Chains A and B, each alone.
Chain A
């Protein structure tokens, strides 16, 4: 162990402690930055100690939920995950998590049982792959998101190609790929030996073929138009090029039947060597995809099937993703909606629930949200309008949101409340005891709302979850 690695660990731990004392933010970014300043290779030095290796999860939507599912599966399989579950998914967030886990002498305890499960920002993937040489990389999907930060969707696709081109051939990771997303499936072209495809083979789960928020209309091989035999949502479905032979690869791990319930999604998954049935306690087709990605990732790592089923059937939502809070007899459900495709899936899931709806939408334009809010015009708020009795537009861009909601038929005078705690208070006051309030925030608004609700309802703050999860797993 090099001196500078030890110093990096001390610096990171000190920064995290200082940040916690100040009571704000969980310190994930600060601790990681402090550690990286002393040892830029801190992630490499610590992650390499995990004897069970590493798996990375990336993509536009679903990476937090999918990596949390993998973490629960690993725990059920008697492994101890090294998991950046706070959602801090840049290099500094991974560094902070590893520093937190390391001893002050620089070792990761219980190393023989450690598996690194890393949620990785789309643009950070090349650096993470280089640093940790993962055994497998799970790709969920690729949609337009934060165009002001990532550049175009194609830029992300190119950075993924670059990450894969840099992997050594003798230790090449298994690529766990969504066959139903043409941009993700494309990563397996010419890498057939590495690719493990997953997909959905149940046309009854198909949606409108006409959803507006679809980001890949043309073939990545020849530029021809893509045609769909089944569309699940966005550009996810059974696709093929109308000009060349590029088409959805046949997945070896596939959902053959999906039944979408209000709170439970029933999945039948065909595997190369049998079948698996899972009652997943989350709603929405997008969560069926998250579970499927986690199953495929777990199989790529050789984790046992009973651990997969046990973990997924006992799963509870990642923070801010279909998370529920009981506040004075009210059921408050927080569903993150941060880009058109994700938001459309969330709104479709809410619309499938029975009863009239109370909706609190947040639109923030922080760096982590994307400063360009034009994407709200690509999302279909119209889906929820016929069922909604009460709506409030909140967040730093509440006025833009109210205008979009006006266009969706919510009325000329949608109420506005830019301030988070005032918005939550108004929404709670408008929700009678025994009733449900749906909160649909963008990313930074979700962090604020969650903290507020956790204070009010006695839940946990997200950076405390690691300790709780680790404590309960032993």
Chain B
């Protein structure tokens, strides 16, 4: 597979990195390099245009409120349209936590004001105000790779979000919550999927100790330009140990 390269765009790596998001990029790189797959990383920040056809996978992580506001303005001005085009044409996207919220239709703050999002996912997020507890804790969610197959995998990690996210008809949930809160603490769902785009609240970092999800993301991202890429098995003992240990953590 020496001629295969994964081209990744990391959006706002300096502004959106609050919950160990660097680990997701490190994971994608490692799992490519271990298989002889090339890895090309492009970092895009405020003011940079996004070429919707230049990447196989677009990644964005979580941010604090102040940085998220700065990002939101730039996102709408310079990247939202390209982001929607990319996802519509089958480019993979992984949005964690703050980016997951920003890529929805809108975010309704505690005073009821609606801030427009990038509109990649048919979902909205509302902040219930400071009197309602944030969703904080270890989380385990159950996920069927490839959408509804017989195998059920677990996704483990940590969630920390004040906003409650509700999916519209145009988005499918990524997973079902086994332990923790998930999208809104009420409907039992976690994350969202639309075409090859995935959004989730789970960090920890997300990908390193969820190798099945990481390989799923890689496989789908590579498949758009390379027919049926085989991902050979690699040494995942440390990954599997961390995943197994997380399954027994309290919420």
Query: A interface vs B, CB < 8 Å?
Result: 144, 147-148, 151-154, 212, 214, 217-218, 223, 225, 365, 371-378, 397-400, 402-404, 406-407, 412-414, 416
Collect the chain A residues with CB atoms within 8 Å of residue B241's CB: 399, 402-403, 416
Q: Is the CB of B20 within 8 A of A407?
A: no
Collect the chain B residues with CB atoms within 8 Å of residue A400's CB: 204, 209, 242, 245-246
Chain B interface extent, by class: 35 or more
Collect the chain B residues with CB atoms within 8 Å of residue A152's CB: 18, 64-65
Write the chain B residue with the least CB distance to A217: B14
Collect the chain A residues with CB atoms within 8 Å of residue B138's CB: 371
CA distance A154 to B66 in the complex (A): 8
Collect the chain A residues with CB atoms within 8 Å of residue B249's CB: 365
Q: Verify if B235 is at the interface (C-beta below 8 Å from A).
A: yes
Q: Verify if B205 is at the interface (C-beta below 8 Å from A).
A: yes
Query: B interface vs A, CB < 8 Å?
Result: 14-15, 17-23, 26-27, 30, 46, 64-67, 69-70, 134, 136-138, 157-158, 160, 203-205, 208-209, 235, 237-239, 241-242, 244-246, 249
CB < 8 Å: which of B14, B64, B237, B244 contacts A153?
B64
Q: Which residue, of A223, A375, A399, has the highest number of chain B Cβ atoms within 10 A?
A: A399
| A148/B160 contact (C-beta < 8 A), A153-B64, A218-B66, A374-B205 known | yes
Q: Is the CB of A374 within 8 A of B204?
A: yes
Write the chain B residue with the least CB distance to A376: B20
Collect the chain A residues with CB atoms within 8 Å of residue B239's CB: 403
**A273 CB to nearest B CB, Å:** 39
Q: Which residue, of B14, B66, B237, has the highest number of chain A Cβ atoms within 10 A?
A: B66
**A437 CB to nearest B CB, Å:** 23
Write the chain A residue with the least CB distance to B46: A225
CB < 8 Å: which of A154, A217, A399, A407 contacts B26?
A407
Q: Is the CB of A154 within 8 A of B203?
A: no
Q: 11 more A-B contacts (CB under 8 A) besides A217-B67, A371-B136, A377-B21?
A: A218-B70, A372-B19, A374-B20, A375-B19, A377-B22, A377-B208, A397-B245, A399-B242, A399-B245, A403-B208, A403-B241
CA distance A294 to B9 in the complex (A): 45
Write the chain B residue with the least CB distance to A212: B22
Collect the chain B residues with CB atoms within 8 Å of residue A407's CB: 23, 26-27, 30, 208
| A223/B66 contact (C-beta < 8 A), A147-B19, A403-B241 known | yes
Write the chain B residue with the least CB distance to A365: B249
CA distance A371 to B204 in the complex (A): 11
CB < 8 Å: which of A218, A399, A416 contacts B15?
A218
Q: Is the CB of A374 within 8 A of B19?
A: yes
**A372 CB to nearest B CB, Å:** 5
CA distance A439 to B188 in the complex (A): 42
| A402/B66 contact (C-beta < 8 A), A374-B205, A377-B23 known | no
| A374/B23 contact (C-beta < 8 A), A223-B66, A413-B237 known | yes
Collect the chain A residues with CB atoms within 8 Å of residue B30's CB: 407
CA distance A414 to B46 in the complex (A): 39
Collect the chain A residues with CB atoms within 8 Å of residue B204's CB: 372-374, 400
Q: Is the CB of A413 within 8 A of B136?
A: no
Collect the chain B residues with CB atoms within 8 Å of residue A153's CB: 64
Q: Is the CB of A378 within 8 A of B22?
A: yes
CB < 8 Å: which of B70, B136, B208 contacts A148?
B136
Q: Which residue, of A148, A154, A372, A416, has the highest number of chain B Cβ atoms within 10 A?
A: A372
Q: Is the CB of B237 within 8 A of A154?
A: no
